[in-house]
Structure 1
Amino acid sequence: MTKVTLRKKIAPRIANGHPWVYGNEVEKIEGDVTGGDIVDVFYGDGKFAGKGYINPKSQILVRLLTRKQEEINAQFFHNRIARAWEYRKKIGYTENCRLVFGEADQLPALVIDKFNDYFVIQTLSLGIDTWKDAIVRAIGSIFSPKGIYERNDVPVRELEGLPQQKGFLSAPFDTNVLINENGLKFVVDIENGQKTGYFLDQQDNRRAIRHIVKNAEVLGVFTYTGTFEIHAAHYGAKSVLGLDISENAVAQANRNAALNGLQDIVHFEAVNAFDVLKQWGKDGRQYDVVMLDPPAFTKSRENIQKALTGYKEINLRGMKLIRNGGFLVTSSCTNLVSPEQFLQTIELAAKDARKRIRQVTFQAQASDHPIIWGMENTNYLKFLIVEVEDR
């Protein structure tokens, strides 16, 4: 077994539970290094730190799987996935859920989403990709699924020296899967939809709007396939308009509205949100509730300030469209923007819009995406509702 020894100064971060070992944190490597192999990791004083998979082509040299002296084999991955499923059942996420959330489930760089009897997987590092067949067998053994699909068409794989790819890992099936969420039906396009086809992380947050949208005129921006807007209509909104730049997303959103018999209350249009919101502000348009669920705006630390400027701009525009005493529902889905930075950005937007805001609720992602303290990448979604009043 190849032996990786850490530099002394790095030990506390690893000892406190973080599973990533960067190349510049290693004192020495003894033995052959083949990307994807399991290696033993030791602290500078010779004590055992854990086992994980190594990739010399990645900035993250080793991702730790265990802190125990145990064998890493197919049964290991079966046990970890079974344990992840037991956790979801205990907290009430069974029909649709993120079954495995990478580091939070001690399976770094692995994502498994469950859409009733269908599963979508992402193996985002060389180490976990090596065990893909074992993971597929484990899903088959634990669930007897109707289908498994891989959505590895993500650029982050290229940082690991892996190709982007997608396709069936089981017998082919109809990749438009019908799911139920909060009493509503949605079609999930697991082949061509964003990420794994659906944003499960907002499923609890979509319920959080149920009181504020009653009898309200609602505007939703960056709607994707319309889940927040259709929830608003379901919860008693008078009218709902959803905007998204993608023609395909808007077509799917309108189909989802019809699927739930809500097409007379909610409809969707394909437009550039930034342009439209600016113009509608000048036109004096007003809504009781404005909902914003923009994309991440940044994937790198170098562009955080640019992302914050984008968040401020879109939230300022949204607030200007809200009637006195109405509500702003807003989100940020990148871990590179901290909760504190996000709230400060909303505060600055309110100041510039000459609005007074009052927090109704501030939440993270749904609990099937558990947060591990000290691992920033597990605490990524910020969801905020504020009441908005004129100054």
Structure 2
Amino acid sequence: MGAIVTLKKGEGRLLKSGGAWIFDNEVDTIVGSFENGDIVIVKDFDGYPLGKGFINTNSKIFIRMLTRHVDTEIDEAFFTKRLQDAWDYRKKTVDTSSCRVVFGEADFLPGIVIDKFENVLVVESLALGIDKVKNLLINILKNILKNDGIIIEGVYERSDAKVRKHEGMDTYKGFIGDEFNTKVHINENGVRYIVDVKDGQKTGFFLDQKYNRLAIQRICKDAKVLDCFTHTGSFALNAGIAGASSVLGVDASELAIAQARENAALNGLESTVSFECRDVFDLLPELESKGEQFDVVILDPPAFTKSRNSIKNAVKGYREINLRAMKLVRDGGFLATCSCSHFMDFELFTKTIKQAAMNSHVRLRQVEFRTQAPDHPILWAADESYYLKFYIFQVIKER
């Protein structure tokens, strides 16, 4: 039997409401020996069993829970069941040609993300305990996919997020197993992409916006479109495929713009979809001063805040770009706008857009509100799993 961790009286509220984390200040005693990353038994202050999880005294997230049942063995059969459940869920809810197969706590496998790009897996390990069983998980998942006729040809690790430092781990990226061509071709919503799993952002491509990209297609036919923070061109290319008359994609990264142009060529859209390497905050006022107007403006910025401490500045940033974008949308045109910051919650994001609309003297007619794709499931008890907010509005100016 592993070490037993007992909580202080009155603590464990997040866990008891369905969450997966126990913080360092919630722990009263630890009885028994352990190494960081080991599985421990968790009990309430009165000895009531609460489950099992990975312990790491280096992290403020002291224990990441795996199960609510102390008599459950955490072995290969346990992880096989977890991974099979995750895959079965994806098969029912999304196009699985390229998708997120494992989304950490939301799939009850805390601290690990596994994306599938056609026949390639990209793994991001963020917690010490799960890192110790990472290779076992990969081998199990490859066998599960093989049973569905999917042969995984390569695995790449993108564990280069700074958050690993909080777990006492170094950042790392590299092949797991044999080397392969890390420029992977995928097809999503009828658009072809080259995904750079080695040097692209995060795991190489933002799969969470899959159906949001599809949603903008119907408003982009015959439209003049501006796609801000285009990254590798995904929204811009969806607009182009949908029949936009012209699309301008903008991003501050030279690497991203080069990849976006490569993707445009791959889809035969070079004459319709163009890209510029510019700072969006500089470009939007310039376009406004020139009197430019667009039928559709898309805002897909990076997270302006990754902590509660910087929310105030983030609000200013979101308000500024939305205000500028609204001014660039012609009367009756459309604005698609989103935030991928967990800390910029639904209420605050909505309030910020409303302020931008008031300041730019426009009225907004909501077309729809969306979140992340179902392969990034939102576990209601785990607030951190809900991060993407996506609106489509019609912009009304002269009525």
- Give the drift of 1:329: 0.6
For residue 83 of structure 1, what is the aligned residue in structure 2? 85
- Give the drift of 1:76: 1.9
Structure 2 unaligned blocks of 5 or more: 146-150
| Percent identity between the two aligned chains | 50
Aligned residue for 1:39, secondary structure, equals strand
Contact 2:37 2:55 in 1 (8 A): yes
For residue 121 of structure 1, what is the aligned residue in structure 2? 123
Contact 1:365 1:381 in 2 (8 A): yes
Residue type at the aligned position of 2:286 = Q
Equivalent-residue separation in structure 2 for 1:107 and 1:13 (angstroms)? 17
Establish whether residue 133 from structure 1 lines up as the match of residue 174 from structure 2.
Answer: no
Per the normalisation by structure 1, the TM-score is 0.98
Contact 2:24 2:60 in 1 (8 A): yes
Aligned residue for 1:107, secondary structure, equals coil
Equivalent-residue separation in structure 1 for 2:315 and 2:232 (angstroms)? 25
Residue type at the aligned position of 2:135 = D
Establish whether residue 313 from structure 1 lines up as the match of residue 315 from structure 2.
Answer: no
Contact 2:36 2:55 in 1 (8 A): yes
Equivalent-residue separation in structure 2 for 1:33 and 1:315 (angstroms)? 51
Q: What is the aligned counterpart of 1:103 among 81, 102, 105?
A: 105
Equivalent-residue separation in structure 2 for 1:133 and 1:8 (angstroms)? 38
- Give the drift of 1:337: 0.9
Equivalent residue runs for 1:281-360 within 5 Å: 281-360=288-367
Equivalent residue runs for 1:229-240 within 5 Å: 229-240=236-247
Equivalent-residue separation in structure 2 for 1:142 and 1:176 (angstroms)? 24
For residue 392 of structure 2, what is the aligned residue in structure 1? 385
Establish whether residue 158 from structure 1 lines up as the match of residue 160 from structure 2.
Answer: no
Equivalent-residue separation in structure 1 for 2:12 and 2:265 (angstroms)? 56
Structure 1 unaligned blocks of 5 or more: none
Equivalent-residue separation in structure 1 for 2:25 and 2:373 (angstroms)? 34
Establish whether residue 50 from structure 1 lines up as the match of residue 51 from structure 2.
Answer: yes
- Give the drift of 1:108: 0.6
1:352-387 per-position Cα deviation (integer Å, ceiling 9, x unaligned): 111111111111000111111131111100011111
- Give the drift of 1:116: 1.2
Equivalent residue runs for 1:176-255 within 5 Å: 176-255=183-262
The count of aligned residue pairs is: 391
Contact 1:153 1:164 in 2 (8 A): yes
Contact 1:136 1:169 in 2 (8 A): no
Give me the CA root mean square deviation.
1.1
- Give the drift of 1:121: 0.5
Aligned residue for 1:210, secondary structure, equals helix
Residue type at the aligned position of 1:35 = N
Aligned residue for 2:343, secondary structure, equals coil
Establish whether residue 24 from structure 1 lines up as the match of residue 25 from structure 2.
Answer: yes
Residue type at the aligned position of 2:66 = L
Instruction: Name the stretch that deviates more: 24-33 or 114-123.
Output: 24-33
Equivalent-residue separation in structure 1 for 2:245 and 2:292 (angstroms)? 16
Equivalent-residue separation in structure 2 for 1:34 and 1:120 (angstroms)? 28
